[in-house]
Amino acid sequence: MQQKRIAPLILIMAFIMLVAACERPASKAPVSTPIDGDIIRTPLPVDQQILNATMTAQAILEKYDQPTVEIKTKEPVKETTEEAIDQPTELVTTVEATAEPTSVQTPTQLPPTPVLTKPTEYTVHEGEFAYCLARRFDVNPNDLLSVNGLNEYSYFSEGMVLTIPTTGSFPGERALMAHPDTWTVSAGETIYDIACAYGDLYPEAIIAVNGLQEPYTLTAGQILQIP
């Protein structure tokens, strides 16, 4: 009898609970909190990037009291078209090539030419003749022959001692070739032959400038400096 009374009560309570459940609002889907890694970051404008970089460098300087080095590799090109915006261009640094040093050859210093004066007497060497000596010593060839008792047909032999006139001068151009010069010696030539070839040149000048020693023997192909 007691169980028959409890059964209707259970049914009533179950009905009440069912009605109450129908009146509750529908539950909402849980809202997920985005994770930092899921956030899509949009690129900052170029001006903001430069400002951030400047602030970062300043912060480093204040913190460590050390200078920062700015390395410029690219800079944006200012264009009016949308395709050219934020397009970097490479900075090209040109370095001028250093010219290679060139060696400068210092010219060979020759001994100074001695100051020579006209002698009063002269000993003839092989290859010398009247006009050669007249040009060298700036005398008239006729006076040279006359003072030594010679004529134009006289032969000048090696070792002959001549008196050199103290007056008069050579009648014409004394120099036969321009100098300073260089001379390539031929076989059999002597410094006296070469001096006569230039006309007004003293053989003693060739000896001094080229540092020749007695007996002043020359060889074929030898190069002489002519003062």
Q: How far apart are CA 144 and CA 125, in angstroms?
A: 16
Q: Helix or strand or coil: residue 56?
A: helix
Averaged pLDDT for residues 107-111: 63
Domains and CATH numbers, the chain: 121-226 (3.10.350.10)
Asked if 105 contacts 170 with a C-beta cutoff of 8 angstroms, the reply is no
Sorting pLDDT into bands at 50, 70 and 90, what band is 95? Answer: very low
Point out which residues pair with 161 in neighbouring strands. Answer: 123
Sorting pLDDT into bands at 50, 70 and 90, what band is 207? Answer: very high
Q: Is the pLDDT of residue 203 over 90?
A: yes
Residue of higher predicted confidence among 169 and 1:
169
Torsion of CA 189, 194, 196, 202, to 10 degrees: -130
Largest separation between any pair of C-alpha atoms in the chain: 197
Residue of higher predicted confidence among 175 and 114:
175
Which pTM was predicted? 0.52
What amino acid is encoded at 205 in this protein? A
**Residue 83 DSSP one-character state:** G
Tell me the pLDDT of the chain averaged across its residues: 75
Q: Residue 205's pLDDT is what?
A: 96
